[in-house]
Structure 1
Amino acid sequence: HPGLVRDTLAYHGCAELFQDVHTELIQYRREQMIKQGIVNDELSVESHIRRENGSCPLMPEEVGLLLRAMGYPSNAIIYVAGSQTFGGQRLLIPLRAMFANVVDRTSLCSKTELSDLVGPETPLPPDVFKMPNPKSEEQLKEEWNRAGPRPRPLPPPPDRPVYQHEKEGWYAWITENDKEPNPSPMDLRMQAHRLLWDALDYIVSVEADAFFPGFHSDGSRWPDFSGLVIGQRLYERASSRTYRPDRKKIAELFNVIRDDMYHPKRNWILSAREHLNRSLSEEGLIRQSLLSKPTSFLSHPIPECSCRISSVEITKPIKGKDGRILFGGEPECPKWMQSARAEKARTN
């Protein structure tokens, strides 16, 4: 899950990691957050410093390089979760170049299946796009006569045609107005659709063989998609391969090879592999408990929602500075649960 959402990027000040109009869109949203009291910081911040502090998401290109360092083959199937990726498909081009089988819900589900997921809806009036009325010959002559004393330059060439896609979404206002318009009924409906698509991606992410979050534990006290998936996978299958990378450490690694990211040296690959393997172990669980659990219990539901079988060695509880148990200390599972587990093992 890339975690590239406009509100999250604006909250953490990651605008300079993008280009052109996307930077303006993030800054506009950040300005609104400052006015609403959500952000208590300056409008313009150094995004590259924020990234080095771990406050900005990993780019899909960086995730692809990390997966390649872990030894994933180029034909591995990678499912990109998330109903929207701010920055568009352009950001996924490097990832698709490294892995041939990068898919999402649109490539695995037909239009009929996605429509059935939404269900029947009342038709909305379409947003009718009206071409600007061309000026008549009389209007052009009148403007020419009022243009001032002669000699004067020739009139400018006629304006190029305006196409419909240039008046849809943020194209319609970012180049003409300073204020974002209120969402239309179609925009509100698309927001509702994204919630359903996120629910579909959530199920796929929980059941996946491995999960790699691009942005989690951001400290914003908002529930994030990746954090909820990590907690659900930990609850259902604690042994599942769920990466919990430290973005600050990852930023330090990429700063070493920023000039030649696609040809890292052997020691860099080993360092990246060691860090990601540690994130899969108890060290990653403890770090996740320290960062996520104080703000979202669902992102780390242990030891409260877990138990141990009697044959497993009792793990010494690890406590934080506030006395809260971070890892270990699970109660013993009830006998009916252990007997059911033994019966299932004999059946298999």
Structure 2
Amino acid sequence: MNSGQVLLGNQSQMMRQAKFTLSYLTFIPLMKELMTAWHQKASQKWKPCINRSLLQSELPPSNGFLIIEANGGLNQQRLSICDAVAVAGLLNATLVIPFFHLNSVWRDSSKFGDIFDEDYFIETLKSHVRIVKELPEDLLQRFDNNISSIINMRTKALASKTYYLQKVLPKLQELGAVRIAPFSNRLAHSVPPYMQGLRCLTNFDALRFSEPIRLLAENMVDRMVKNSSMRGGKYISVHLRFEEDMVAFSCCIYDGGDKEKREMDKARERSWRGKFRRPGRKISAEANRMSGKCPLTPLEVGMMLRGMGFDNTTSVYVASGKIYNAEKYMSPLRQLFPLLETKETLASADELAPFKDYSSRLAALDYTVCAKSEVFVTTQGGNFPHFLMGHRRFLYEGHSKTIKPDKKKLVLSFDNPNIRWDKFKKNMQEVLRQSDLKGIALRKADATLYTFPMPDCMCQRTER
């Protein structure tokens, strides 16, 4: 039997089990209230203390203008901006409001001010870094009114403080302006406290969303709280990575039909141009699933949450792009959680119209609703959940309040045709327990403060 047949059999078994589960779960009493999902001791609690490592003295004369190009989606852009502020502080450079690269995947033409509050950004950081909206005209004329004529330093990935001081600063002082494009992941995770402080201040304060995004997002949060009145205004948010490109890239098999194969082959060719057809490349859908690389289906997410004890009175917000074959795959999740909302159900078509063709602006709406939820569920990794976990730690006394399942272990439960509900439930509650234990974590030297803000951006509360 080949890997496709194995997975097809597993998926079919899971679907049969799910039909039984859907009817059986109706009679299960509430096992775990949302407000008791986490068990945080008083001695583990942290509080924001960004300013402890930041200097408040008058800024010395600028060494020149730093221009960076942020690439990728919303949170990769966010990373680039925060790192650029830290580098500008190190070099005593004047930072030009970052440009956004028009990415072929995201296809979002938004500028900085469309996503973030530009004036608030400049005002919040003014005591630490000079920031301007554009290059002075006289300087731009020196480069033939073409920013592309300014030298691109092409900085190496995860560059150290020393690299910037030895390689970038001399050119900045010589030419009056330097450019670094692209700038994503161009600064080391571990840098001096002052630079970390600038990262903290930028990410957790200065990068406030623009007013149109902020107002609609706040309304969406209010609606979720109102819809969750049976649970004291508390709700679950799920980052569901089951878009067509995500399913295609994973090379996993779901229903195993010819239609799915044609659609996935077409999606791979459109986005990756023969990458998956290279000679000698072997892809095993079964191995991918067993190693936890396959995106969770909406049904699998629903079964996991019901196994943890969340019932059909739990409000759920699903953050995602366009779900692959949504009519088919979302139906079981809606049956399990009838109080399910998305951007499209929570906001009106007129409210969403200004954001419709801008993936980063839509992601900012999702980001806000997820940040304010009692429980956040991440299903596939990436910058969106990593930034959210860090932001939630910053907001919730150091605990991310995030369910981050070990998908290798999940597969063993999902694909076991003989598993009983009580055993499945026990396994899912262990996933929740592990997520609770790992909710509080300090940053290690090779990790990013955007996911682990303690101890760089937060201080431990002292017991009284």
Q: TM range, normalised to the smaller chain?
A: 0.5 to 0.7
* RMSD across aligned positions (CA): 3.2
Aligned 8 A contact 1:14 1:50 in 2: yes
The structural deviation recorded for 1:295 is 7.5
Amino acid at match of 2:454: I
Residue 248 of structure 1 is aligned with which of 403, 408, 428?
408
**Cα distance in 1, alignment partners of residues 281 and 264 from structure 2:** 10
Contact 2:371-2:392 at 8 Å conserved across structures: yes
Structure 2, unpaired ranges of 5+: 1-238
Q: What residue in structure 1 maps to residue 360 of structure 2?
A: 195
1:49 aligns with 2:287: yes
Deviation at 1:68, TM superposition (A): 0.8
* 2:376 is aligned with 1:211: yes
Deviation of residue 58 (structure 1)?
Answer: 1.2
Q: How far does the alpha carbon of each residue in 1:78-132 deviate from its partner, in whole angstroms, 9 at most, with x for none?
A: 11111321232321111111111111111111122112x43xxxxxxxxxxxxxx
1:280 alignment partner in structure 2? 436
Deviation at 1:42, TM superposition (A): 6.2
The answer (yes or no) to whether the contact 1:5–1:84 under 8 Å persists in 2 is: yes
Deviation at 1:59, TM superposition (A): 1.1
For residues 11 and 114 of structure 1, the distance between their equivalents in structure 2, rounded to whole angstroms, comes to: 29
Q: What secondary structure is seen at the aligned counterpart in 2 of 1:211? A: strand
2:322 is the counterpart of 1:84: yes
Q: Partner of 1:299: helix, strand, or coil?
A: coil
Task: Name the SS of the counterpart of 1:277 in structure 2.
Answer: helix
Instruction: Report if the CA contact (8 A) 1:80-1:102 is conserved.
Output: yes
Determine the structure 2 residue equivalent to 1:62.
Answer: 300
1:236 equivalenced with 2:395 (yes/no): yes
Aligned-partner SS, 2:241: coil
Q: Percent identity?
A: 24
Q: What does 1:153-168 align with in structure 2 at a 5 Å threshold?
A: none
Change (3 A) 1:289 1:88: farther
Q: TM-score, normalised to structure 2's length?
A: 0.43
Secondary structure in 1 aligned to 2:240?
Answer: coil
Q: CA deviation at 1:242?
A: 1.1
Runs of 4+ residues over 4 Å off in structure 1:
15-19, 31-44, 293-297
Closer, same or farther: CA 92–104 of 1 in aligned 2, 3 Å: same
For residue 311 of structure 2, what is the aligned residue in structure 1? 73
- Indicate the SS of the match to 1:4: coil
- The verdict on how the C-alpha distance between 1:74 and 1:302 changes in structure 2, with shifts beyond 3 A counting, is same
Distance in structure 2 (CA, Å) of the matches to 1:208 and 1:12: 28
CA distance in 2, matches of 1:81, 1:46: 29
Counterparts of 2:279 and 2:377 in 1: how far apart (Å)? 30
Contact 1:228 1:299 in 2 (8 A): yes
- Residues 58 and 215, structure 1, Cα contact 8 Å, conserved in 2: yes
Higher relative contact order (CA 8 A, sep 6+): 2
Residue from 83, 87, 98 that aligns with 2:336: 98
1:11–1:33 CA contact under 8 A, matched in 2: no
**Equivalents in 1 of 2:286, 2:443: separation in Å?**
27
Superposed counterparts of 1:130-145, under 5 Å: none
More strand, by proportion = 2
Cα distance in structure 1, aligned partners of 2:412 and 2:280: 25
Give the 3-state SS of the residue equivalent to 1:307 in structure 2: strand
Alpha-carbon distance in 2 for matches of 1:87, 1:42:
31
2:427 equivalent in structure 1: 271
Q: Go from structure 1 to structure 2 and tell me whether the alpha carbon gap of 1:225 and 1:311 turns closer, same or farther (over 3 Å shift).
A: same
Whichever residue aligns with residue 87 of structure 1, its letter is N
User: TM-score, length-normalised on structure 1?
Assistant: 0.56
Gaps of 5+ in 1: 119-189, 217-222, 313-348
The aligned residue for residue 352 of structure 2 is 114
The match for 1:309 is 461
User: Is contact 1:235-1:306 (8 Å) kept?
Assistant: yes
Instruction: Please say if residues 443 and 455 of structure 2, whose CA atoms lie closer than 8 Å, have aligned partners that are also in contact.
Output: no
8 Å contact kept, 1:16–1:46: no
How far off is 1:240 after superposition? 5.1
CA distance in 2, matches of 1:201, 1:114: 12
With over 3 angstroms needed to count, the CA separation of the structure-2 counterparts of 1:19 and 1:199, relative to structure 1, is farther
Residue matched to 1:13: 251
2:279 and 2:401 map into 1 onto residues whose CA distance is 37
Q: Which amino acid aligns with 1:228?
A: F
Alpha-carbon distance in structure 1 between the residues aligned to 2:434 and 2:378: 15
Secondary structure of residue in 2 paired with 1:298: coil
Which amino acid is the alignment partner of residue 283 of structure 2?
V
For 1:325-340, what aligned pairs fall within 5 Å after superposition? none
Higher alpha-carbon deviation: 198-207 or 15-24: 15-24
Q: How big is the shift at 1:206?
A: 0.6
Instruction: Return the alpha-carbon distance in structure 1 between the equivalents of residues 424 and 287 of structure 2.
Output: 22
Q: How far apart are residue 225 of structure 1 and its match?
A: 2.2
Q: What is the distance in 2 between the residues matched to 1:72 and 1:276?
A: 11
Determine the C-alpha separation between the residues in 2 that align with 1:33 and 1:4.
16
Within 2, Cα distance between the matches of 1:248 and 1:111? 39
